[in-house]
Chain A
């Protein structure tokens, strides 16, 4: 269920690293908890973000959630497809439903994030 090769935060975001550029989205657990997603506020390209900054807001029928920045960097692209069709975040959270890409100042700063096994265990612990 939880894809290998991605990094996970305890705020239920995932990061896929390609060199120094990361693609960020929310996990299947997060989209399921939010329910039908109706709107995503994406960061503009070029926006400088520091670790912990709110990068996006994801709105669902009954809730809204912030998506935080995993490490310092500069936004290179927001996913225009989810702006057009926010339900992609529900139907394909690890694929077409990605949210934004960010060029990290130091990708080494992501070392503290979880891998798939650790995130699976984290989810299990949260449920108990």
Chain B
């Protein structure tokens, strides 16, 4: 059974091509992936991310409890800030990658992936005590859109009727009103550009979406551009770079593993850190436009040394690029490898992350 987001009719009116994504009918593109990708890098686009889960977690001692199940140190997280991290199994494998937002002293919002929503919910319920309350806001009609691009702030600001999201730094979060409607806005995204995720009740979000679509210069963007944008930034995609068989250390995401608290999977990661990983995630790009595909073998001196997890044309780089796991001694930038697609052998070069370096997401004074 595929589900529709609250914006489904809008996508059809906008001429979107719709695909099934983890059981959700979502637009893969409107006018075209390349145009949408470029518009996000230079202007501003809106993504429907209503398929993603939003869990409101509240109660006495909630920070301590969340700190023991999420890699994010919830107790150290300041109100009005958010942090990227993981739900791990006991072996340190990734059950999901999430953003934990602190809305109040005892109130958190955890944003999770669509494909793992149900398993996350079960896992959290089994790990949290009855002292805290977990509410799946998406089940009660909440939705989300992502406004992304260098022009995101100037586009959003006129719609905001209470508060000023321009005061937020990267990964800030707070309660605002848009068009007089309550919403939560975070300065986060999945594109590398300045941007905001706007969470609100579905009906309110439709009104905000309509207003954005009526704004000069704003275009809708689909999953195709979302994927090429995040790949250029080397952001992992759950199910590809991250799975229960991969740890954050292997994915090179050590920076999101604070050492100041213990969480589920912590011991396994300590052991892995001491022993050293047996594979590491690298970014690569090719001199040609020919793309690699998830599952393609990575070769070095004729031997299989790894596997591609994400591959495709990188519109901002104008060449094919990707991510993949390779043996740890082959990760230095400049290392030349071969990707075997089954049809062709494509020479690729390991690159520093991110592949696209001009992103505006960390811009300091967004109010200009």
Contacts and interface: CB of A to CB of B under 8 A. Distances in A.
A41 B289 CA distance: 10
A62 B290 contact: no
B208 interface: no
Interface in B255-294: 288-291
A41 B344 CA distance: 10
B98 interface: no
Contacts of B291: 38-39, 59, 64
A39 B34 contact: no
Interface in A23-81: 35-36, 38-39, 41, 57, 59-62, 64
A93 interface: no
B320 A61 contact: no
Interface string A77-114: 00000000011000000000000000000000000000
Contact of A62 (B33, B289, B320, B344): B33
Contacts of A86: 289
B333 interface: no
A58 to B, nearest CB: 11
A64 B290 CA distance: 10
Contacts, number: 44
A64 B312 CA distance: 11
A41 B290 contact: yes
Contacts of A64: 291
Given A36-B33, A38-B313, A59 B28 contact: no
A2 to B, nearest CB: 21
Contacts of A61: 29, 32-34, 224, 228, 312-313, 315
A35 B320 contact: no
B343 interface: yes
Contacts of A41: 290, 344
Nearest to B37: A61
A34 B149 CA distance: 26
A62 B228 CA distance: 10
A39 B289 contact: yes
Interface string B314-337: 010000100000000000000000
Nearest to B291: A59
User: Nearest 5 A-B pairs (CB), nearest first?
Assistant: A61-B33, A38-B313, A39-B289, A36-B34, A36-B32
28 contacts: A35-B17, A35-B29, A35-B32, A35-B224, A36-B32, A36-B33, A36-B35, A38-B34, A38-B320, A39-B288, A39-B290, A39-B291, A39-B313, A39-B320, A59-B289, A59-B290, A61-B29, A61-B32, A61-B33, A61-B228, A61-B312, A61-B315, A62-B28, A62-B29, A62-B33, A62-B224, A86-B289, A87-B34
Interface of A: 35-36, 38-39, 41, 57, 59-62, 64, 86-87
